[in-house]
């Protein structure tokens, strides 16, 4: 259970009151925290198929006010058993302030911070994907950043970083499934769309800064017509697409845990090779056109085979 501040997660709760201090206090209250954790748990069970034998007619059908409030109450009860436990500290502070437990989760207390279920869904998306994207920030320590800036075998470092990225961030299938399910619903749900936009922007800014640092340290630039924003979008998009491929296929070809590598590493190197300007100043389209030009033999080489060549051809085919 996430025990950090929820100011930038429960945004709909924080802005509802119109008063800064009141909004922050409500956003970080035990009931709000328990309801968000409740929704995350319910979604996880549904995504893993642990919701009984009932047929689910629509995605996230279990996320009703009644189910969320009931699960949040169970979280309260779980926190109260070991009074020095981590869950108790996350809900009621360190050390736990049990006076905060007097307001219990219910449909009524849930309607106070979230008058509509749509507002709740927006905050839930931010909460459910918070750990997923906060992992990104801590993935590259200073030693790895130094390798990306200075190592002679840059491709080896790219492979290492890509493998860790896929293993830590994208191979967590539960949160990945939730992300893609929420993405599929975004066109029909303004709150989910806004929440996802903020999550993607957070990841985009982090990686953009990393790539800018590498390019500057190595003294290289991108080909004309390719911006840093576009390169960042391509690389992060490849990672997200390959994680979807990893979830949907059981072939195990996307991530190779034995050799500690991934398809993302190779794909990233291919993209970097095309995006970096080696000094010719050409756009990537010109390079592609040159590489893919059809190799047609000159007209002089299209003459009919002479008698000797025809005899050799028949001999190779086993004919006299």
- Does 141 or 311 have the greater pLDDT score? 141
- Does 225 or 202 have the greater pLDDT score? 225
pLDDT band at 83 (very low <50, low <70, confident <90, very high): low
Locate 161 and state its tokens: 């970083």
In the chain, the percentage of residues whose pLDDT exceeds 70 is 81
pLDDT for the residue numbered 49: 66
Locate 65 and state its tokens: 């006010």
pLDDT for the residue numbered 171: 59
Task: Please say if the pLDDT value at position 76 is more than 80.
Answer: yes
Determine if residue 311 is left, alpha or beta; phi over 0 gives left, psi from -120 to 50 gives alpha, anything else beta: alpha
- Bond before 95 cis per omega within 30 degrees: yes
pLDDT band at 165 (very low <50, low <70, confident <90, very high): confident
pLDDT for the residue numbered 315: 55
Cα radius of gyration rounded to whole Å, the chain:
28
User: Which is nearest to 267 in space by CA: 240, 286, 227?
Assistant: 240
pLDDT for the residue numbered 198: 83
On average, the pLDDT of the chain sits at 84
- Point out the least confidently predicted range of 9-13, 108-112, 238-242, 252-256: 252-256
pLDDT for the residue numbered 313: 57
Average pLDDT of 237-252?
77
pLDDT band at 276 (very low <50, low <70, confident <90, very high): very high
Average pLDDT of 90-107?
91
In the chain, the percentage of residues whose pLDDT exceeds 90 is 45
- Does the CA dihedral 282-286-292-296 come out positive or negative? negative
Task: Please say if the pLDDT value at position 224 is more than 80.
Answer: yes
pLDDT for the residue numbered 233: 95
Q: SS3 letters for 38-85?
A: HHHHHHHHHHCCCCCCCCCCCCCCCCCHHHHHHHHHHHHHHHHCCCCC
Q: SS3 letters for the chain?
A: CCCCCCCCCCHHHHHHCCCHHHHHHHHCCHHHHHHHHHHHHHHHHHHCCCCCCCCCCCCCCCCCHHHHHHHHHHHHHHHHCCCCCHHHHHHHCCCCCHHHHHCCCCHHHHHCCCCCHHHHHHHHHHHHCHHHHHHHHHHCCHHHHHHHHHCCCHHHHHHHHHHHHHHHHHCCHHHHHHHHHHHHHHHHCHHHHHHHHHHHHHHHHHHHHHHHHHHHHHCCCECCCCCHHHHHHHHHHHHHHHHHHHHHCCCCCCEECCCCEEHHHHHHHHHHHHHECCCCCCCHHHHHHHHCCCCCCCHHHHCCCCHHHHHHHHHHCCCC
pLDDT for the residue numbered 128: 85
pLDDT band at 190 (very low <50, low <70, confident <90, very high): confident
pLDDT for the residue numbered 149: 95
Model-level pTM? Answer: 0.74
Average pLDDT of 131-152?
82
pLDDT for the residue numbered 35: 95
- Does the CA dihedral 16-92-108-68 come out positive or negative? positive
Locate 277 and state its tokens: 């300007």
Task: Please say if the pLDDT value at position 54 is more than 90.
Answer: no
pLDDT band at 61 (very low <50, low <70, confident <90, very high): confident
Spatial CB neighbours of 158, under 8 Å, sequence gap ≥ 6: 148, 265, 268, 269, 272
Euclidean distance between the first and the last CA atom of the chain, given in angstroms as a whole number? 81
Residue 75: count other Cβ atoms within 10 Å of its Cβ: 21
Average pLDDT of 15-36?
84
Residue 202: count other Cβ atoms within 10 Å of its Cβ: 17
Cα separation, 71 vs 106, whole angstroms: 10
């Amino acid at each position: 259970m996430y025990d950090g501040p929820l100011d930038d997660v429960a945004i709909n709760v924080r802005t509802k009151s119109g008063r800064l201090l009141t909004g922050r206090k409500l956003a970080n209250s035990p009931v709000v925290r328990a309801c968000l954790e409740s929704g995350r748990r319910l979604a996880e069970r549904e995504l893993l198929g642990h919701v009984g034998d009932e047929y689910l007619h629509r995605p996230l059908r279990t996320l009703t006010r009644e189910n969320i409030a009931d699960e949040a109450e169970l979280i309260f009860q779980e926190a109260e058993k070991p009074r020095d436990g981590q869950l108790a500290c996350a809900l009621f502070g360190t050390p736990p302030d049990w006076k905060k437990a007097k307001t219990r989760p219910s449909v009524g207390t849930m309607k106070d911070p979230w008058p509509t279920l749509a507002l709740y869904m927006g905050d839930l998306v931010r909460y459910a994907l918070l750990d997923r994207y906060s992992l990104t920030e801590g993935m590259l320590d200073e030693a790895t950043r130094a390798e990306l800036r200075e190592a002679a075998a840059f491709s080896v470092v790219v492979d290492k970083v890509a493998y860790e990225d896929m293993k830590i961030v994208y191979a967590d299938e539960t949160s990945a499934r939730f992300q893609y399910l929420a993405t599929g619903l975004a066109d029909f749900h303004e709150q989910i769309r806004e929440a996802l936009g903020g999550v993607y922007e957070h990841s985009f800014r982090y990686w953009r800064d990393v790539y800018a640092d590498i390019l500057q340290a190595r003294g290289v630039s991108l080909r004309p017509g390719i911006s840093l924003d576009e390169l960042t979008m391509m690389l992060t998009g490849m990672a997200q697409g390959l994680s979807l491929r990893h979830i949907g296929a059981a072939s195990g070809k996307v991530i190779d845990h034995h050799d500690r590598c991934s398809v993302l590493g190779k794909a990233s190197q291919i993209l970097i090779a095309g995006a970096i300007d080696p000094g010719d100043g050409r756009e990537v389209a010109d390079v592609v056109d040159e590489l893919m030009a059809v190799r047609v033999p000159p007209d002089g080489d299209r003459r009919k085979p002479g008698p000797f060549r025809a005899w050799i051809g028949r001999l190779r085919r086993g004919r006299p």
